[in-house]
């Protein structure tokens, strides 16, 4: 521009200067005529114009060289820009001064899945989240109006999965020499992972703050050198100290004066040695009182092993301390009471020792008694077993006697029936004595039958006599067994006596019947002889028949009595058999009871032995704790 002004000045100014010089030379008379002066003026002007043209040619050549350098530099710069654009991980774009996009890099096209033409102009707005578009439009319009750089977060839809991912957009203007905006350069950087991490960190911080507020513990954080630099709400709430008061080492002023130096040294030692911090001290509360706290802290290390910060807690243990003090007080009181009671316990132990000695002696005596009782119960059980066997034998003997008694009763019934028949025969004989003379043959025949009946009666008498002897023997045996049975056999002994008495009566009756039968036989012989003599002794025979009838009547009555006695004996034997069955059952019950007594005696013996052992142990324990 300056060169163009110089050339114009030379072209316009040089002729004026030369003309002025020619005019001054003419006035001074330097030229002989005017034509010479005009010639000199023209030559000088031509020379000047030639010089000017030559200078412009040189300048034009230099300008062309500069233009080539500029073009080469521009091409080189554009190549570097393209390489830099390809190397950048961000989305790069440029816009005109009015805000319309005129360039996007390949990353924008890959992310959006659109063409270059679709993304230039205002087409890029279709990728913005509908919720972010109004805010972006407002901020972008303000930046275009003010010319200030822009930084804003928004969501862009990604091609393929149509997911909106968070980006931060930055735009800066490019200006010319006059300060006018010629271009906007911008980038979009994906910050989705950063936003997610920030959100997680925010949630963690919120949880930490909530935990700090909700917990009953005091949570504190210090710098690596052990000084408090952060705000500690729980410490402020507990101690009443302000942030300015507890910053640095000011927190130690809230510690009880008697614990302050100890707490400071413990904390300084932990910071110096980078070790776990644990201590108990009294801490002033907001109301001015002091409460016991248990302080614990650990260092948080960085990746290089250095301490990044200290984190710890102070837990209020006032109630625990009060409980420990109360427990110690109660323990002291208990020890005092124990000492007071020790003397009394010595006396009690002495008395217990005496009682234990007595108990041991009694337990030994009880053990000896129970041992004897067990032996006696065993002997009793053995005797009961033997008695049961004997009772069973007696029952069998009674069963045999009952069977024989029934047999005797049956035989006595037969004898009774026979005696009744003899009685009727005698009556017929008496009735027919009038016809004896006329029917001698019949009398002889009747005498024969009478003789046969006499023989039968003799047999019956012999049988009855045998039954009487057996009943007598049975009664003797029953008396012996009843004597053995003792008290329970008294009823059976009475029955046996009755049986013996009946047997004796039967024996006496049979003796009489035998004597009568002998008379009948002799009378029958006489009757036969009388029959042979033919009626010599009809009257004597009649008298004898009457006597025979009376004797037979007596015999029938005796036989009937014997039959009744035999029936009674059979009934008594049956009752005796039933009684023996009951006795067998009773003996079985006694046997079982005896077995139970043996078991009980053995258990009692074991208990007594355990009692004796317990007494011995108690005696040992009493001797052990004897004061």
State mean pLDDT over 31-58.
61
**325 exposure class (CB count in 10 Å sphere: 0-12, 13-18, 19+):** exposed
Nearby residues of 233 by Cβ (< 8 Å), 6 or more positions away: 212, 213
**CA-CA distances (angstroms) from residue 330 to 324, 336, 342, 344?**
10, 10, 18, 21
Element (H, E) at 181: strand 181-190
| pLDDT band, very low/low/confident/very high, at 2 (cuts 50, 70, 90) | very low
Higher pLDDT, 242 or 478: 242
Average pLDDT over residues 391-415: 67
d(CA 270, CA 582): 101
Over residues 565-618, the pLDDT tens digits come to 667 766 766 676 676 677 667 667 766 766 776 676 677 667 767 766 766 676
Hey, what CATH class is 90-198 in? alpha beta
Write down the pLDDT at residue 403: 72
Report how far residue 111's alpha carbon sits from residue 164's, in angstroms, rounded to the nearest whole number: 11
Tokens matching residue 362: 């009694």
Q: Do the strands 150-157 and 164-175 form a parallel or antiparallel pair, or are they unpaired?
A: antiparallel
**Spatial distance between the Cα atoms of 464 and 483, rounded to a whole number of angstroms:** 28
pLDDT in tens, 136-168: 999 999 999 999 999 999 999 998 889 999 999
Asked if domains 90-198 and 215-316 share a fold, the reply is: yes
- For residue 294, list its beta bridge partners: 280, 315
Q: Which fold has domain 215-316?
A: Beta-Lactamase (3.30.450)
| Largest Cα–Cα separation, the chain | 268
pLDDT at 398 over 70: no
Is the CB of residue 450 less than 8 Å from the CB of residue 524? Answer: yes
- Phi/psi for 241 (5° steps) reads -75, 145
Every domain of the chain and the residues it spans: 2-72, 90-198, 215-316, 408-585
Q: pLDDT (tens digit, 9 = 90+) per residue, 203-235? A: 776 666 666 555 557 888 899 998 988 888 888
pLDDT at position 124: 86
- 150-159 as b/e: b if 16+ CB within 10 A: bebebbbbbe
Supply the pTM of this predicted model: 0.33
Query: For position 3, what pLDDT does the model report?
Result: 47
Would you place residue 459 in the very low, low, confident or very high pLDDT band (cuts 50, 70, 90)? confident
Q: 369: Cβ–Cβ under 8 A, 6 or more apart, which residues?
A: 608
| Average predicted confidence (pLDDT) for the chain | 74
* Region 408-585: CATH code: 1.10.287
Strands (E), 544-591: none
Helix (H) or strand (E) holding 355, with range, is helix 318-431
Q: Which residue's entry shows tokens 């919720």?
A: 131
The predicted pLDDT at position 563 comes to 63
Q: Which of 189, 145, 186, 576 is nearest to 403 (CA)?
A: 576
The three-state secondary structure class of 625 is: coil
Q: What is the CA radius of gyration of the chain?
A: 79
Angle between helices 490-533 and 538-624 (to 10 degrees): 170
Of 392 and 3, the one with more pLDDT: 392
């Amino acid at each position: 521009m300056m060169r163009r002004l110089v050339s114009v000045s030379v072209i316009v100014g040089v002729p004026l200067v030369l003309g002025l010089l020619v005019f001054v030379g003419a006035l001074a008379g330097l030229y002989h005529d005017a034509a010479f002066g005009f010639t000199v003026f023209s030559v000088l002007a031509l020379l000047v114009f030639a010089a000017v043209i030559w200078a412009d040619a040189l300048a034009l050549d230099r300008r062309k060289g500069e233009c080539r350098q500029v073009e080469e530099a521009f091409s080189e710069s554009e190549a570097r820009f393209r390489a830099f654009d390809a190397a950048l991980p961000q989305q790069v774009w440029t816009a005109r001064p009015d805000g319309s996009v005129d360039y996007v890099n390949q990353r924008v096209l890959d992310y959006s899945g659109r063409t270059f033409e679709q993304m230039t102009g205002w087409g890029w707005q279709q990728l913005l989240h509908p919720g972010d578009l109004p805010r972006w439009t407002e901020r972008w319009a303000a930046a275009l109006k003010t010319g200030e750089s822009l930084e804003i977060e928004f969501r862009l839809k990604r091609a393929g999965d149509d997911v909106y991912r968070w980006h931060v957009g930055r735009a800066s203007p490019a200006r010319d020499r006059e300060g006018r905006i010629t271009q906007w350069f911008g980038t979009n950087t994906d910050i989705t992972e950063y936003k997610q991490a920030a959100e997680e960190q925010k949630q963690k911080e919120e949880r930490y703050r909530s935990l700090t507020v909700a917990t009953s513990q005091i949570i504190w954080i210090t710098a690596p050198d052990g000084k408090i630099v952060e705000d500690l709400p729980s410490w402020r709430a507990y101690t009443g100290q302000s942030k300015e008061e507890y910053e640095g080492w000011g927190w130690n002023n809230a510690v009880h004066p008697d614990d302050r130096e100890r707490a400071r040294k413990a904390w300084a030692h932990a910071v110096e040695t980078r070790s776990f911090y644990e201590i108990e001290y009294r801490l002033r509360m907001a109301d001015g009182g002091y409460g016991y706290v248990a302080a614990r802290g650990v260092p948080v290390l960085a990746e290089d092993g250095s301490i990044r910060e200290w984190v710890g807690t102070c837990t209020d243990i006032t109630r625990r301390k009060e409980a420990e003090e109360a427990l110690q007080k109660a323990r002291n009181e208990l020890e005092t009471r124990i000492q007071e009671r020790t003397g009394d316990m010595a006396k009690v132990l002495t008395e217990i020792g005496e009682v234990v000695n007595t108990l041991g002696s009694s337990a030994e005596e009880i053990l000896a008694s129970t041992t004897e009782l067990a032996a006696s119960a065993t002997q009793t059980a053995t005797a009961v077993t033997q008695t049961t066997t004997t009772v069973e034998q007696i029952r069998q003997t009674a069963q045999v006697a009952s069977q024989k008694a029934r047999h005797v009763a049956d035989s006595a019934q037969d004898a009774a029936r026979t005696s009744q028949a003899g009685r009727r025969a005698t009556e017929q004989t008496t009735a027919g004595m009038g016809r004896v003379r006329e029917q001698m043959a019949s009398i002889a025949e009747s005498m024969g039958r009478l003789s046969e009946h006499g023989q039968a009666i003799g047999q019956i008498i012999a049988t009855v006599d045998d039954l009487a002897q057996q009943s007598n023997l049975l009664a003797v045996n029953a008396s012996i067994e009843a004597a053995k049975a003792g008290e329970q056999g008294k009823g059976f002994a009475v029955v046996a006596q009755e049986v013996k008495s009946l047997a004796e009566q039967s024996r006496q009756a049979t003796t009489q019947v035998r004597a009568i039968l002998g008379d009948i036989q002799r009378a029958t012989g006489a009757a036969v002889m009388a029959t042979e003599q033919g009626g010599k002794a009809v009257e004597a025979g009649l008298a004898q028949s009457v006597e025979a009838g009376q004797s037979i009547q007596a015999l029938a009555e005796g036989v009937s009595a014997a039959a009744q006695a035999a029936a009674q004996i059979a009934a008594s034997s049956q009752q005796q058999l039933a009684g023996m069955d009951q006795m067998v059952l009773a003996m079985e019950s006694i046997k079982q009871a005896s077995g139970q007594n043996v078991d009980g005696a053995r258990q009692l013996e074991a208990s007594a032995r355990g009692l004796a052992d317990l007494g011995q142990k108690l005696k040992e324990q009493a001797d052990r704790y004897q004061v």
